[in-house]
Structure 1
Amino acid sequence: MNSEINSYKQPSQTLQKWVKVVTHFLCLGIIFILPEVLVSRSFPAGSGIPWGMYAKSLLFVAVFYINYYIIIDYCLGRRRWVLRLTGLNVVIIIVTLLCAYFLMDMHSGEMPRRVPRHVDAHADLLRRVSFLMRDVVMAILTVALSVAMKLSDYWVKLNRQRQEMEMVQHKEELESLKKQLNPHFLFNTLNSIYALIAISPDKAQQAVHELSQLLRYVLYENSPTVPIQDELTFIDNYVKLMKLRIGDKMPINVTLDSGDCNDCHIAPLLFISPVENAFKYGNTGRSGDSIDISIVCREGSIHCHIANNFIDSEKRDIASSGIGNVNLRRRLDLIYGNKAEMSTKIDGDRYIVDMIITL
């Protein structure tokens, strides 16, 4: 079960890792490094590498990753986590700006100026305030971006865990439904053989042999899907077993054709419940009654049609609301979702089950 989940999730996780790396690279490059590089290129050629500009960019990158890997993980899940997150980031932003301006003062002392040194004090103050506001806004955007990306990662992780939990729950529910099906199938078949012993011991012996083949398929077929031909062979063997009990009392019309879907697979034991019910409730003993079983594959879909007669409405109600049909509907919903349809209807004294499964 775990290997199925891992094999299903591995490509998606690998893609998410690459997307994460590319996203980090683009965000850091465009928002933090590129603006400072463009500003540095505006200075005269030959003035040297403006290391102060790049150092300030690295400070913002550090703020991003300190939030991403330390602060957000520390705050999330704690009481008043928003207040904690805000307080810690205020401290980090203040420290970052102080370091940035210390580096910029060192840088400005080494860098040739394009403007006269004798600048109006008021204009110089406005320039410094504008730079300060720009850096404050950049620091806030840095924190906001790190929080947004971290929360996005948390959302993806939680969504993946939810999907894995649903897969495990579906797997366990399917196993439970299959375990309910096995005793139901076994008891019905044993009752048929028990009735056959008194009538024809030879046929009963042959029926036991047929039952052993059926049980081998039911009990030891643990894979989530089987070739369609194997499932049709199982239904054919079950019909042969029922014919041994019924004999020539009523016509049984069977059509099993894998058609153009020989290479397709299907969940095991999907058709046995309505087929069982057809023999259990459809053996009326009246002339003219029949059991019709048709499972045909064509154009990537399986069409199943099963019809039988009823003696009275009580048996009809039991068949339509029994545990077999309830389990079958649930299995179809878990395995195929909206790719499977099952309908039951009553036409006179005939009960009809139709299923269509898109492979």
Structure 2
Amino acid sequence: MYNNKKITILSHLLVWLVLFSMPYILSSGQEQNINRVIAHFWIPFLFYAIIFYLNYFYIIDRFLFTKKNLAFIAINAVMIALFLLVKEQSVSTFFSELQRTPPNTGEGEKGPPFKLFIYMQMLPYIASLLFAIAAKTTKRLTKTEAESKEATNYKLKSELQHLHYQLQPHFFFNSLNNIYSLVDISPEQAKKTIHSLSKLMRYMLYETNLELVSLSKEVDFMKKYIELMQLRVSDKIVINANFPTSETGVQIAPLLFISLIENAFKHGVSATKESQISITMTVENKKVLFLIENNNFPKKTDDKSGSGIGLQNLKKRLELLYPNKHFFETTVKNNYFLVTLEIETA
């Protein structure tokens, strides 16, 4: 902010320096009458600057932007008329040798019409006023746009934070349900599951508050979750998981894929039937492709473990984090539930 103000001040000084130097720049080294320069260039330029900065810093905000148009026009008209009068009086009083030739200097010689003379004198003042309006309007629009973007970003961050906090208890609740089912059947496995869950929750609580995390950390988190889920499923369940084995260098928003894996275990596992879950992740040119295929065992309407909060949360987060940079599709084909998620991270 300080640097921007400094640049603005320097640019204004440079512009006025160039304008005040115009008589010498245009004369290309020819001798100049200092009185003529003062009377016809520097005094008018001083008045142009006053018109510009009075409007820029006060009058436009106080009158034009508050819809007091008549007052705005009247104030500027009075100022322009006053400056024209002062300029002409200063020329006639202090620089008498520079007084203009009378409009009628002799037979056959006439000066410019009075109305044209006034118009030509007023034109630079009106130009200064218009420049002030243009500069102030541009600054106001830029500020409004910046404030709008800031408000949008704040809303986005708030919404993402809400979705993030919503995901954590949802994940924890589902994991506790899985542990509960093991307590009576296999206490030892339940203990291992609790220990594994504590590691997962530590990652969720302390390492996912950043906007982006490395994909390798997310992969490690998903592997641990799959290991946790394997403790409670029967031998009839075949789980195939393929993840990138080397560091990809990809940074991604945290916890985008875990809801899909949760969903596969909730809807793709049967206690009595053979079932299969296939999970594949590939990375190419900073584009992450995530595929899941599992048997489709729809939950009963009174079974709240499959409420779908995770998928709804994921869809909303993808819309906010990767607008026009993701593809997400779920389909059911031949009694298999298929998920395709593609994210452009670059």
Aligned pair in 2 of structure 1 residues 255, 336: CA closer, same or farther (>3 Å)?
same
Partners of 1:182 and 1:68 lie apart in 2 by 52
Aligned to 2:62: 74
Partners of 1:208 and 1:273 lie apart in 2 by 19
Q: Do the aligned residues in 2 keep the contact of 1:260 with 1:300 (CA within 8 Å)? A: no
Partners of 1:238 and 1:150 lie apart in 2 by 57
Aligned to 2:203: 217
Q: 1:332, CA displacement in angstroms?
A: 1.2
Q: 1:107, CA displacement in angstroms?
A: 6.1
Q: 1:252, CA displacement in angstroms?
A: 0.6
Q: 1:101, CA displacement in angstroms?
A: 1.7
Aligned to 1:146: 132
Partners of 1:273 and 1:28 lie apart in 2 by 62
Q: 1:117, CA displacement in angstroms?
A: 11
What is the 5 A alignment of 1:120-135? 120=106, 125-126=111-112, 129-135=115-121
Partners of 1:137 and 1:201 lie apart in 2 by 92
Aligned pair in 2 of structure 1 residues 248, 173: CA closer, same or farther (>3 Å)?
same
Letter in 1 for 2:42: Y
> Is structure 2 residue 122 aligned with structure 1 residue 136?
yes
What is the 5 A alignment of 1:29-68? 33=20, 41=27, 45=31, 47-48=33-34, 50-52=37-39, 53-68=41-56
Partners of 1:227 and 1:202 lie apart in 2 by 33
Aligned pair in 2 of structure 1 residues 192, 66: CA closer, same or farther (>3 Å)?
same
Aligned to 1:157: 143
Aligned to 1:331: 317
- Out of 104, 115, 118, the residue aligned to residue 91 of structure 2 is 104
Q: 1:296, CA displacement in angstroms?
A: 2.3
Identity of aligned residues (%): 31
Q: How many residues are paired up? A: 340
Q: Do the aligned residues in 2 keep the contact of 1:258 with 1:296 (CA within 8 Å)? A: no
Q: Do the aligned residues in 1 keep the contact of 2:52 with 2:132 (CA within 8 Å)? A: yes
**CA displacement 1:158-185 (0-9 Å, x = unmatched):** 1001111111100000011011111110
**CA-based RMSD:** 3.3
Q: Do the aligned residues in 2 keep the contact of 1:177 with 1:331 (CA within 8 Å)? A: yes
- With normalisation by structure 1, the TM-score equals 0.83
**CA displacement 1:134-158 (0-9 Å, x = unmatched):** 1212211211111011010000001
Aligned to 2:258: 272
Partners of 1:195 and 1:164 lie apart in 2 by 47
- With normalisation by structure 2, the TM-score equals 0.86
- Out of 216, 231, 236, the residue aligned to residue 244 of structure 1 is 231
Q: Tell me, what secondary structure is at the counterpart of 1:90?
A: helix
Aligned to 1:179: 165
**CA displacement 1:63-85 (0-9 Å, x = unmatched):** 1111101111212553x322232
**CA displacement 1:6-48 (0-9 Å, x = unmatched):** xxxx7xx956974x55764676577x65766677x49973533
Aligned to 2:180: 194
Which ranges of structure 2 fall in alignment gaps of 5 or more residues? none
> Is structure 2 residue 213 aligned with structure 1 residue 226?
yes
